[in-house]
Structure 1
Amino acid sequence: MPTFSVLVPFMPARPEQVLPLAALVRHSAAHRLWQGQSLLVEPHQAFTHVAASGFRVPCGTGVTLMPFRHPLEAALQARSVAIATGQPTVAGFGPGATVLQRSMLGAPYASPLTAVREYLTVVRGLLEGRPVELEGEYYPCRVHMGWPPVPGIELGLGVLRPAMARLAGEIADVAITWLTPPGYLREVIVPALRAGAERAGRSAPRVAAMVPVALAAPGRDPVDLVLAGNSGHLAMPHYQDMLRRSGVEVDPEDPAVTAKGVLESRAFVFGGPDELRDAVAEYADAGVDEIVLNVTGVCQRYGLPVAQAELETILAEVAA
């Protein structure tokens, strides 16, 4: 049985908006509080605020985008959250979409795999207190901070396709997926993780799957909920490619077609507790270790109080 965690289902405008979700993690079956990249309140700052407010819970970034910060700053932020919370921390990273790379860096990474390898190499070396001397193509770095290692920090890598999964198998502690159907995880991603780990002579990273969910209720349209919470992702070429690889029909001109395919593939799980339990079993069979409940669609359509109540119900009836 996988563990269950909770994703902050919106971009907080103030850090105190995260406190009810931290309290939910503290007082429920949820294991960890996750936050994706936020452009209103920086996720590490929000986690530190949560800890200072008395909710010292395990945290994870899933994921922060590499073009926004140097790997030394990334290591410092992860270290600071781990110290502030005193709890296990996942520092998850991803290269972001090509358009973001071009906007922030002047040009996209010619090799995202090389950029990711360099980035995590620097971050891990710094967190382990080692001198870093990397003549990298994207992140050259010669520095020795001499930090005492902080226990409980795992490095995560956002994974959608097999090449990144193989790299995660080599260098990451956690493979973080988003909107990935369980069949695709079982048949493509998990085998690629294992292949990369075998090549590196190490154990395969655990898998944390961000799974969009919503409970069925009168008047709710599941296609609308898929689009409310995931329209941005569904418009990105790398997500479209991943979904096509998984067998989902992708129609860039009609997002509703894509949304229906996402529902059929169980990349988005909609239904009652029994349907959710069946989906959890499918994700577990695929090799997922941590299911991160993502109720962004519900939050967008009905507000945070309804979304939080939905999480409470799922955690009580499905995760217990």
Structure 2
Amino acid sequence: MRIGTAVVGTRLEFEDVVGEVRGAAAAGLDSVFFPQLDDWDAITLAGAAGREVPGIEVATGIVPTYPRHPVVMAGQALTAAALTGGRFTLGIGPSHAQIMQDRLGYSYDRPVRHVREYLEALRPLLRGEEVEYRGETLTAAGRTAVPGAAPPPVLLSALGPRMLRLAGELADGTITNWMRPEAIAEQVAPAIGRAAAEAGRPAPRIVAFTMVALTDDPDGARAALAGQLGFAGDLPAYRAVLDRQGLSGVHETIIAGDERAVEAAIRRYASAGATDLLLSPMGGAEERDRVLRLAASAGRAARPPARTSNPNRKGLMTG
């Protein structure tokens, strides 16, 4: 299973962000994801940081769709793909009504229809095709071309059944949040896998995000997370995710414990069908480094063995 981490640009200078990405690469991680918050532009930051640090995937997780027209999004994503030599992945999603509607003034009516039409317009634009799209929620006409840029993979933030179907049908995978391994196995993997198969698409990527604390006081870590991010459980989309799992709050989704507990949790996510585990470590710089190195090692151990090219050879699976 691939292991990644999230780098939040808040209060960080650009060189500090690059340092975080270099640290992730040195720890053996596969990817770094950048959320879109109220500071750095996530796509620009991913492209610029990825150009500075070779050999690691950079991605957004996520950029909201409403404020960026598909033509604009395609141009930005292709620019980041060109800057990184094809190591950029675009993670998008509709965000939340409290942000898009209450703060920014966009109508949040029919978000699933909006996302379907957004992807139907965006994917050909990323391929450099001429688009003339007239939907119920958006119009897109024109073409976006960035020399030397291959279309980046697109991941969709999908938490409920309808969005998971869209992710399987029209995207390359999904980014989930606040889900335990059991929810990945029972809710996410079957739904998105079935949708992808019905659409004739490859097996989708499933990126599971979770907080992690390497600690001898798991209950204390959960209490700290509840105090810091407990408000996330009040957002309707996240509340629905928690309710489907029978959880009271986001603090119940954290990986917390000693090295063996963290390694066991990573194995459970891999067994559940997650292709990637996106970790946000709690604690200071030293604790973060320990968590990421441990996770990178555990992730490599959890990857399925590769098949040999000779099916008649004994021991068809190699490490």
TM over 0.5: yes
Alignment of 1:241-256 (within 5 A): 241-248=240-247, 250=248
User: Partners of 1:9 and 1:179 in 2: how far apart?
Assistant: 18
> CA 1:17 to 1:144, structure 2 compared with 1: closer, same or farther past 3 Å?
same
State the match for 1:108 in structure 2: 107
Q: Percent identity?
A: 26
User: Partners of 2:61 and 2:218 in 1: how far apart?
Assistant: 31
Provide the secondary structure at the position in 2 that maps to 1:67. coil
> CA 1:123 to 1:150, structure 2 compared with 1: closer, same or farther past 3 Å?
same
State the match for 1:72 in structure 2: 71
Alignment of 1:1-320 (within 5 A): 2-9=1-8, 11-55=10-54, 57-103=56-102, 106-147=105-146, 150-151=149-150, 153-217=152-216, 221-227=220-226, 230-248=229-247, 250=248, 258-259=249-250, 262-263=251-252, 267-295=253-281, 298=282, 302-303=283-284, 305-306=285-286, 308-315=288-295, 318-319=298-299
Provide the secondary structure at the position in 1 that maps to 2:206. strand
> CA 1:215 to 1:140, structure 2 compared with 1: closer, same or farther past 3 Å?
same
**Structure 1 ranges of 4+ moved more than 6 A:** none
Provide the secondary structure at the position in 2 that maps to 1:23. helix
> CA 1:188 to 1:225, structure 2 compared with 1: closer, same or farther past 3 Å?
same
User: Partners of 1:319 and 1:198 in 2: how far apart?
Assistant: 26
CA contact (8 A) 2:184 2:272 kept: yes
> CA 1:288 to 1:12, structure 2 compared with 1: closer, same or farther past 3 Å?
farther
> CA 1:4 to 1:89, structure 2 compared with 1: closer, same or farther past 3 Å?
same
Letter in 2 for 1:318: A
Q: CA deviation at 1:42?
A: 1.1
User: If each structure's helix is expressed as a fraction of its own residues, which one has the higher value?
Assistant: 1
Provide the secondary structure at the position in 2 that maps to 1:153. coil
Per-residue CA deviation, residues 73-92 of structure 1 (Å, 9 max, x unaligned), is 21111111111111422101
CA contact (8 A) 1:50 1:56 kept: no
Provide the secondary structure at the position in 2 that maps to 1:103. coil
Letter in 1 for 2:298: V
Q: CA deviation at 1:63?
A: 0.7
User: Partners of 2:106 and 2:15 in 1: how far apart?
Assistant: 36
State the aligned residue count: 300
> CA 1:105 to 1:60, structure 2 compared with 1: closer, same or farther past 3 Å?
same
Q: Larger deviation: 218-227 or 192-201?
A: 218-227
Q: CA deviation at 1:157?
A: 0.1
Q: CA deviation at 1:208?
A: 0.9
Q: CA deviation at 1:218?
A: 5.9
Letter in 1 for 2:186: E
Q: CA deviation at 1:313?
A: 4.0
Q: Larger deviation: 307-316 or 86-95?
A: 307-316
User: Partners of 2:52 and 2:189 in 1: how far apart?
Assistant: 38
Provide the secondary structure at the position in 2 that maps to 1:221. helix
Per-residue CA deviation, residues 11-55 of structure 1 (Å, 9 max, x unaligned), is 344222212221123223200111111211111222233245455
> CA 1:17 to 1:133, structure 2 compared with 1: closer, same or farther past 3 Å?
same
> CA 1:17 to 1:7, structure 2 compared with 1: closer, same or farther past 3 Å?
same
Q: Larger deviation: 194-203 or 135-144?
A: 194-203
Per-residue CA deviation, residues 269-311 of structure 1 (Å, 9 max, x unaligned), is 101111111111111111100111112xx2xxx44x2453244
Q: CA deviation at 1:144?
A: 2.2
- Provide the aligned C-alpha RMSD in A: 2.4
TM-score, with normalisation over the residues of structure 2? 0.85
CA contact (8 A) 1:61 1:90 kept: yes
> CA 1:5 to 1:97, structure 2 compared with 1: closer, same or farther past 3 Å?
same
Per-residue CA deviation, residues 231-260 of structure 1 (Å, 9 max, x unaligned), is 342221110111101121x3xxxxxxx25x
Letter in 2 for 1:26: A
Q: CA deviation at 1:198?
A: 3.0
Q: CA deviation at 1:129?
A: 1.0
TM-score, with normalisation over the residues of structure 1? 0.85
User: Partners of 2:57 and 2:150 in 1: how far apart?
Assistant: 12
User: Partners of 1:219 and 1:176 in 2: how far apart?
Assistant: 25
